[in-house]
Amino acid sequence: MAVVISENAVGRLRLKIVVPITEWKPRYASFPWFVYLTPTPTNGLTKDSGADAFQVKSVSETRFLDRLGELTPSQLDDTANAIATCVGVP
């Protein structure tokens, strides 16, 4: 599962920017690039998870088949801030 950050195509390429989601481990709390996500019916997660902003990547839109869930605007902001931390944005 991944968080989709980019809702629009980038340039002429039909890509989405995604952040992988993995099972949460307590040690991730000390890493500023991990965003803690609790499972809810809206986000489709089944266990405590973390968005790993250090692993951000671009993926072709053709790879997206089904929407499994949706994060809150606050969780998306937290994830975008974690990406900014990874790339050195003040």
Statement: 2-87 belongs to CATH 2.102.10.10: no
Domain ranges of the chain: 2-87
Each residue's pLDDT tens digit, 14-71: 888 899 999 999 999 999 999 999 999 999 999 999 999 999 999 998 998 998 999 9
Confidence of residue 2 (pLDDT cuts 50, 70, 90): low
What pLDDT is recorded for position 52? 97
What pLDDT is recorded for position 90? 72
For the entire predicted model, the pTM comes to: 0.81
**22: helix, coil or strand?**
strand
Contact 38, 50 (CB under 8 A): no
Q: Which positions ≥6 away from 52 have C-beta within 8 Å?
A: 19, 20, 21, 22, 33, 34
What pLDDT is recorded for position 80? 94
